[in-house]
């Protein structure tokens, strides 16, 4: 269950307007104070949608009717429990006989993010919701067919009528899923509790990691704001993942996706170009959304293609200055961190995980 939140504090945090930008050049000094860090507190959850929409969204999230062959629901890849609303896989599960080419992000806190998906092609959970349903390598059902399918199920006709005063529509499906996702907000992490004044919430090592994160490590140059990421696109200089070549089905999905976005790729030759697929700007090749660093304890593996199996692995990679691909950000340089310092950073990252929301699947979908 979500922890108890003092309402006045939440409101106060929600109203704090960021007045300071902590770029690499303006990294904190020795040790940022709690007051300076208040803007990193997880803000108040979004306003709760109407109950009828939430309940309909809950039904849809867990209903396998939303996939072409009736085997997948949203929870197939965004699974409550130990996978933290992700799926613990390197790259996501996919529609049978297809393969995905990207790692599944958690749906926890997605309702509060500025950009969604690794290339930021959606700006809200409503905008995003129909994407996986129609995607041939995700749930793979024609949306018009799904609408007719749900219209034939009396419980859905009733639920849509209650929530939207209408029959089943695509827009209603998206809005209801989004209303349900509005509940998927984490409780305060040890870092949030520390910001609220609890001196014992974080370990000594995590506190040293905090200093490195905002200081010598310059992580905050990219991972900024209350979600420690999620609002800009950068490249770690990651080279072509050999698994794209080894598993041709991944390459097929990638090429299909590129084509759909308007960029046909040569057979088997090209990499996941991330943000470039959305903007078409050469300078965006190889850039991905700087991901949130919240809830990482349960959302391994890491990176857009899950190539890092542990936090230490990716911290190591970044601390060495990233990879060699052409578009690597200029913010990245070898940091000269000791192995102890890397452990402190990992402990800080772990302190950004709060309890996941408790959600109940609907009792019946018939």
CB 292 within 8 A of CB 301: no
> Pick from 321, 308, 312: which is nearest to 347 by CA?
312
Residue 138 annotated in active site:
yes
Could you tell me the two tokens for 204? 């000594």
Q: How far apart are CA 219 and CA 315, in angstroms?
A: 10
> Nearer to ligand HEC by C-beta: 150 or 177?
177
Q: How far apart are CA 48 and CA 201, in angstroms?
A: 28
> Nearer to ligand HEC by C-beta: 9 or 247?
247
> Nearer to ligand HEC by C-beta: 11 or 148?
148
Q: How far apart are CA 129 and CA 117, in angstroms?
A: 11
Q: How far apart are CA 303 and CA 91, in angstroms?
A: 10
**Least distance in angstroms from the C-beta of 128 to ligand HEC:** 5
**Sites of contact with ligand HEC (CB under 6 A):** 66, 72, 74, 76-78, 92-94, 100, 102, 104-105, 107, 110, 113, 116-118, 125, 128-129, 132-133, 138-139, 177, 217-219, 221-223, 234, 236, 238, 288, 290-291, 293, 296, 299, 302-304, 311, 314-315, 318-319, 329, 331-332, 345, 349
How many CB atoms within 10 Å of residue 9? Answer: 15
**Least distance in angstroms from the C-beta of 153 to ligand HEC:** 17
**Least distance in angstroms from the C-beta of 9 to ligand HEC:** 25
Q: How far apart are CA 24 and CA 219, in angstroms?
A: 8
Q: Which residues of 153-176 are buried (b: 16+ CB within 10 A; e: fewer)?
A: beebeebbeebbeeebeeebbbbb
**315 phi, psi to nearest 5 deg:** -65, -40
**Least distance in angstroms from the C-beta of 359 to ligand HEC:** 13
> Nearer to ligand HEC by C-beta: 47 or 336?
336
HEC per residue, 319-365: HCCCCCCCCCCCCCCCCCCCHHHHHHHHHHHHCCCCCCCCCCCCCCC
Q: How far apart are CA 215 and CA 30, in angstroms?
A: 7
**Least distance in angstroms from the C-beta of 140 to ligand HEC:** 9
Alpha helices in the chain (DSSP H): 7-15, 51-61, 74-77, 125-134, 143-151, 154-164, 170-181, 190-195, 204-214, 242-246, 248-260, 276-279, 311-319, 339-350
Omega before residue 301 within 30° of 0, cis = yes
> Nearer to ligand HEC by C-beta: 175 or 218?
218
> Nearer to ligand HEC by C-beta: 7 or 324?
324
Question: Exactly one of 35, 50, 82, 138 is catalytic; which is it?
Answer: 138
**Least distance in angstroms from the C-beta of 165 to ligand HEC:** 23
Could you tell me the two tokens for 180? 């349900």
**Least distance in angstroms from the C-beta of 117 to ligand HEC:** 4
> Nearer to ligand HEC by C-beta: 117 or 351?
117
> Dihedral of CA 251/255/256/257: which sign?
positive
Report, as residue numbers or ranges, the catalytic residues.
138
């Amino acid at each position: 269950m979500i922890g108890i939140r003092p309402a006045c504090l939440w409101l106060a945090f929600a109203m704090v307007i960021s007045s300071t930008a902590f770029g690499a050049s303006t990294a904190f000094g020795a040790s940022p104070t709690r007051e300076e860090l208040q803007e990193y507190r997880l803000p108040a959850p979004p306003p709760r949608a109407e109950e009828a929409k939430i309940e309909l969204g809950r039904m849809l999230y867990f209903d396998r009717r939303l996939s072409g062959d009736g085997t997948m629901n949203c929870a197939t890849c965004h699974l409550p429990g130990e996978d933290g609303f992700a799926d613990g896989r390197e790259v996501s599960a996919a529609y049978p006989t297809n393969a995905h080419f990207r790692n599944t992000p958690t749906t926890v806190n997605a309702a509060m993010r500025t950009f969604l998906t690794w290339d930021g092609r959606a700006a809200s959970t409503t905008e995003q919701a129909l994407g996986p349903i129609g995607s041939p390598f995700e749930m793979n059902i024609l949306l018009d067919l799904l609408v007719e399918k749900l219209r034939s199920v009396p419980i859905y006709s009733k639920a849509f009528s209650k929530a939207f005063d209408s029959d089943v529509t695509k827009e209603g499906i998206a809005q209801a899923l989004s209303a349900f996702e509005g509940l998927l907000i984490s409780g305060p992490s040890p870092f949030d509790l520390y910001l609220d004044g609890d001196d014992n919430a974080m370990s000594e090592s995590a506190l040293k990691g905090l200093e490195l994160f905002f200081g010598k490590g310059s992580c905050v140059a990219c991972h900024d704001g209350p979600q420690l990421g999620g609002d800009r696109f950068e490249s770690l200089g990651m080279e072509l993942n050999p698994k794209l070549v080894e598993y041709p089905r991944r390459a097929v999905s990638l090429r299909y996706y590129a084509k759909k976005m308007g960029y046909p790729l040569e057979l088997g030759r090209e990499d996941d170009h991330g943000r470039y697929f959305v903007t078409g700007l050469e300078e965006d090749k190889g850039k991905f959304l700087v991901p949130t660093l919240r809830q990482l304890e349960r959302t391994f593996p890491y990176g857009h293609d899950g190539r890092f199996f542990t936090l230490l692995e990716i911290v190591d990679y970044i601390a060495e200055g990233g990879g060699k691909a052409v578009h690597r950000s200029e913010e990245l340089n070898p940091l000269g961190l000791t192995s102890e310092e890397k452990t402190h950073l990992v402990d800080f990252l772990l302190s950004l995980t709060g309890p996941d929301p408790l959600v109940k699947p609907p009792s019946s979908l018939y």
